[in-house]
Structure 1
Amino acid sequence: MTPKKEDYLKIIFELGGREKKVTNKQIAMSLNIAAGSVTEMVNKLVKEGLATHEPYAGISLTEEGVSVAERLVRRHRLWETFLVEKLNYKLQDVHSDAEVLEHVTSDNLMDHLEVFLDHPKHCPHGGVIPDKTGHYEEESHLTLAEAKVGQEIVVDRFTDNHDLLTYLDDIDIKIGDHLEVLAQAPFEGPIKLRFKDSGQETSIGYKAAHYIFVK
């Protein structure tokens, strides 16, 4: 399987494709590519039995696709955890090196790395890490963009996207932050938020809010 195909499986999994339909637009935005390229690759995944596609509804992973994605996600997120916790990488800079390492790592090395890291359950951007038997906690698939005005939420995880993580670092939003949704500007304008602990207010772009998962 090509690294490009693996990237698609991972992002569909990350966006919730194990349990719901994921749109071409979501995949394109997350991978920073043209929508036409997504259509072509999705068709390949469908032909190989790794995904299903329902026109005007979206893409989801088959049982086999989920199994492959879980193995890929485990490798990638264990390496991200190692690079951040042990080598002091910044979160937004970790993805590309983790991508290289995951493709040259044996199952035996992954098992030892997991033990060395003391069996982490989540990677630095909040994503679950399946264990060697494929077990993991269920993730939240509610995005900040879906939260209602007046609702109080907790930041659960971020999509693994360099530009997004750099942006969130700039506005200082982190995993575990308790926020209140104050307002959303019309025509897909920014979302205004208040930090519950400090009372400080901030705003976040509507597009970015689609890749912040909350509880």
Structure 2
Amino acid sequence: MNSSWQDYITVIFELNELGCNINNKMISEKLDISPPSVTEMIKKLKSEGLVDGRKSNLFLTEKGVLEAKKIMSKHRLWEYFLKNELGYDWGEVHEEAKALQYSTSDKLMNRLNKYLKEPIACPHGGYIFINSNDDYDKKLISLSNVDEGNRVMIERLADIKDLLEYMDRKKLSLGDFIYVEKIDKYDGSILIRKEDKLEVQIGIIAAKDIFVSEI
């Protein structure tokens, strides 16, 4: 599967993971590719049995999901390796891992997975779908959909460098337990409190890309 096909399949897969209703426009924006080019590529992916649905509601076929899980596992294993073995910051690993995934064979993927002792997730909380990890199906929700007074745990972040830098500035990390204290009725910003009593204001744009599990 060439790199262009991989990019399309992984974008559709990631958007689906985040609960999005996927259309050509979203893919165009995510990949920074013209709408006509997206339309043409989706036709090719449909002809290969990897994608189905209307242009306003696209989804991966069973074959497409299997391919996407393999590609994402390669990518996320490299992200894990770069951060935990080579000391990269979590905001640096995405582009490096993307370059590495294209040339990673299934054999190398499996050996890397074994060397890393089968990690559950990448540094941003994205699941790694191979071996004993494959049956994981934990339901996460966006922080923007959490009601006032609820306690949640930060489990995953959208793989966006600006968001990761934002989280560092706010002193927030995966695994943090937080309380939603107040939601501003005008702009939707969220006042949260960590268990160390630190209060943090989160903008609505960031909140939509922070995924949590309810406690």
| TM-score, normalised by the number of residues in structure 2 | 0.84
Pair 1:133–1:151, CA change in 2 (3 A)? closer
Pair 1:210–1:39, CA change in 2 (3 A)? farther
Match of 1:69 in 2: 68
Q: CA deviation at 1:152?
A: 1.3
1:179 counterpart = 2:178:
yes
1:108 counterpart = 2:107:
yes
Q: Is the 8 A contact 1:79 1:101 kept in 2?
A: yes
Aligned partners of 1:190, 1:32: CA distance in 2, in Å?
28
Pair 1:148–1:75, CA change in 2 (3 A)? same
Match of 1:138 in 2: 137
Q: Is the 8 A contact 1:15 1:141 kept in 2?
A: no
Aligned partners of 1:141, 1:96: CA distance in 2, in Å?
25
Q: CA deviation at 1:5?
A: 3.2
Q: Is the 8 A contact 1:127 1:157 kept in 2?
A: yes
Segments of 5+ residues of structure 1 without an aligned counterpart are none
Please point out which of 192, 202, 211 is paired with 2:209: 211
Q: CA deviation at 1:180?
A: 1.4
> Partner of 2:21: helix, strand, or coil?
coil
Q: Is the 8 A contact 2:12 2:22 kept in 1?
A: no
Pair 1:55–1:73, CA change in 2 (3 A)? closer
- The CA RMSD over aligned residues, in Å, is 2.8
Pair 1:34–1:102, CA change in 2 (3 A)? closer
Q: Is the 8 A contact 1:125 1:157 kept in 2?
A: yes
Aligned partners of 2:136, 2:37: CA distance in 1, in Å?
28
Aligned partners of 1:164, 1:5: CA distance in 2, in Å?
26
> Partner of 1:145: helix, strand, or coil?
helix
* Aligned residues with identical type, % of pairs: 34
Aligned partner of 2:74: which letter?
R
Aligned partners of 2:28, 2:143: CA distance in 1, in Å?
19
Segments of 5+ residues of structure 2 without an aligned counterpart are none
Match of 1:161 in 2: 160
Match of 1:53 in 2: 53
Deviations, residues 40-72 of structure 1 (Å, cap 9, x unaligned): 35555445432333566x332221111111000
Give the aligned length.
Answer: 211
Aligned partners of 1:72, 1:185: CA distance in 2, in Å?
40
Aligned partners of 1:36, 1:186: CA distance in 2, in Å?
36
Matches within 5 A, 1:146-157: 146-157=145-156
Worse-superposed segment, 174-183 or 75-84: 174-183
Q: Is the 8 A contact 1:140 1:213 kept in 2?
A: no
Pair 1:210–1:9, CA change in 2 (3 A)? farther
> Partner of 2:119: helix, strand, or coil?
coil
Aligned partner of 2:60: which letter?
L
Deviations, residues 72-110 of structure 1 (Å, cap 9, x unaligned): 011001111110010000000001110111111111111
Pair 1:155–1:27, CA change in 2 (3 A)? farther
Q: CA deviation at 1:163?
A: 1.9
